[in-house]
Amino acid sequence: MARYKTIDIRIWMDEKFLSLDEGTKLLFIYLLTSQHTTPIGTLSLPSHVIAAWLQNDIDTVSKRLDELSQKGLIKVSSLGLIWIRNYLKYNPPANPKVAVGYCKFFDEMPECALQGDVAKAVICSCKSRGKEYLDAVKTKLQIYIQQPNKSDCIETVSEWYRNQEQEQEQDIYIHNKQHTQVCNEGSAAEDGVCSGCFDESSFDPDEVIDAPIKVQAAQAQLEHFDSVADDQPLSLAQLITGCKQLGIKLGHTPKTEAIASRETITKEVLRECAKAWKGTNTGTGYFVGILENASKDVNTVIPREKRELGPDTITDKQASFFASKLVRDSGFCSKFGKGYQDYNVFASKVAANIRNPRHFDEYKPYMERIGLLGGEQ
């Protein structure tokens, strides 16, 4: 059972929802967030159970369910099956495996005509996500749809779904996956990951009234992201923008918020996570898992030996080794060795100082000159 469920903030701008009284609004939000609601927006729950949860009488709940049905927000069968009509519009399947899992909920439904409407909605949601999603459910769900011809059925489903959406604003999720290989506006990025393009198709123009303003805002976010240094920890907003650059749809969730709060994900780490994920043929949930592991230990995606050495990445062993070499360099000793009579004492001080960013920058030209940086270690 999912601990979190999504409610789009635009519900508070929806004319139908706003026209409801407070009690009916609460009932609808209960249906959206109930532990009994399946991932496809159905629940088989008698009125008296809902009444108990909301501390209402049965007649009041029945009247409010009727109102939600009349408003076109839900459908209710005579056998007690309730379906939230636009649930999948805001909760599409994360990957084809999740879509396959949707089919099991039909076995748990009472047999009724409403099953066909739900099946059509699932097929349409999967169709909008891509062929792989559609193939995962089409054959299994055809039996619930009163259409003998499969190809005609899919067209009919699409038409049916559009008719439902005429009553509310269109917001079909666009899955932008073409950027994981080649940038359409430039050359292929390093290791096949696009890291420097902006594509308006990754934004839904129907989501706001003035699409160009949204595009301008996104471009401003992108410009700000491009100005962030490669080794600077990314904020949550920057992390989401960076993922959009890479063709990955990342949302603001408790998990992504926790990832950003650790202040360990940089541009470099983000790109490595994308490279690690793109070959797995899995959904974004798996990518978030890679990000989470990297936020706790960047060595899961960038081994120490591959990372650029700096005051925050150098190990104790490396610091001691570097110091032992630096104190033998005449140029280094003439600048930093005044007052030291013992090499070991001087080396210990240098090893401690090398972790300080200011001292590291001072020592860097000498480390580069004697081959400690930029060479084989």
Question: Taking 80 as the threshold, does the pLDDT of residue 273 lie above it?
Answer: yes
pLDDT > 90: percent of the chain? 12
Nearest-angstrom CA–CA distance, 357 and 312 = 8
Span 192-201, mean pLDDT?
37
pLDDT for 231? 74
pLDDT for 25? 94
Rg, C-alpha atoms of the chain: 28
Nearest-angstrom CA–CA distance, 274 and 259 = 15
Span 39-48, mean pLDDT?
86
Question: Taking 50 as the threshold, does the pLDDT of residue 35 lie above it?
Answer: yes
What lies within 8 Å, CB to CB, of 264 at 6+ separation is: 233, 294, 295, 296, 298
Q: What is the DSSP letter of 173?
A: P
Q: Which residue has the higher pLDDT, 276 or 155?
A: 276
Q: Which of 167-176, 224-233, 326-335 has the highest mean pLDDT?
A: 326-335
How is 81-134 classified by DSSP, letter by letter?
EEEETTHHHHS--SSHHHHHHHTHHHHTS-SSTHHHHHHHHHHHHHHHH-HHHH
pLDDT for 188? 39
pLDDT for 146? 58
State phi, psi for 44 to the nearest 5 degrees: -105, 95
pLDDT digits (tens, 9 = 90+) for 59-73: 898 899 999 999 999
Write the Ramachandran bin of 371: left for phi over 0, alpha for psi from -120 to 50, otherwise beta. Answer: left
pLDDT for 161? 36
Q: Which of 179-193, 207-221, 307-321 has the highest mean pLDDT?
A: 307-321
pLDDT digits (tens, 9 = 90+) for 84-119: 999 998 888 989 899 898 988 888 888 888 888 999
pLDDT for 1? 54
What lies within 8 Å, CB to CB, of 62 at 6+ separation is: 47
How is 23-73 classified by DSSP, letter by letter?
HHHHHHHHHHH-TT--TTSEEE--HHHHHHHHT--HHHHHHHHHHHHHTTS
CB 252 within 8 A of CB 272: no
Question: Taking 80 as the threshold, does the pLDDT of residue 271 lie above it?
Answer: yes
pLDDT for 26? 94
Least confident range from 309-318, 325-334, 355-364: namely: 309-318
pLDDT for 31? 93
Q: Which of 108, 164, 154 is nearest to 133 (CA)?
A: 154
State phi, psi for 81 to the nearest 5 degrees: -80, 125
154 confidence band (pLDDT: 50, 70, 90): very low
Q: Which of 374, 375, 332, 371 is nearest to 353 (CA)?
A: 332
Beta-strand relationship, 81-84 and 42-44: antiparallel
Residue type, 144: Y
Residue with tokens 């999912």: 2
pLDDT for 219? 56
Question: Taking 70 as the threshold, does the pLDDT of residue 345 lie above it?
Answer: yes
The domain segmentation of the chain, as residue ranges, is 9-165, 178-305, 316-369
Q: Which of 79, 88, 77, 67 is nearest to 17 (CA)?
A: 67
Question: Taking 80 as the threshold, does the pLDDT of residue 193 lie above it?
Answer: no
Question: Taking 90 as the threshold, does the pLDDT of residue 252 lie above it?
Answer: no
Span 14-30, mean pLDDT?
92
Residue with tokens 């043929």: 281
Residue type, 334: S
pLDDT for 208? 37
pLDDT for 32? 92
- Which tokens belong to 163? 């008719």
Q: Which of 53, 8, 22, 57 is nearest to 35 (CA)?
A: 53
Give me the helices (H) in the chain, please: 15-18, 22-33, 47-54, 58-70, 87-90, 96-102, 104-107, 114-129, 131-141, 150-165, 211-226, 236-245, 254-261, 267-278, 284-296, 316-326, 330-336, 343-353, 357-369
Q: Which of 176, 174, 178, 252 is nearest to 207 (CA)?
A: 174
Residue with tokens 């899995």: 282
pTM for the complete prediction? Answer: 0.41
- Which tokens belong to 115? 């099953």
Give how far Cα 362 sits from Cα of 114, 230, 323, 342, Å.
73, 21, 13, 21
Nearest-angstrom CA–CA distance, 136 and 283 = 14
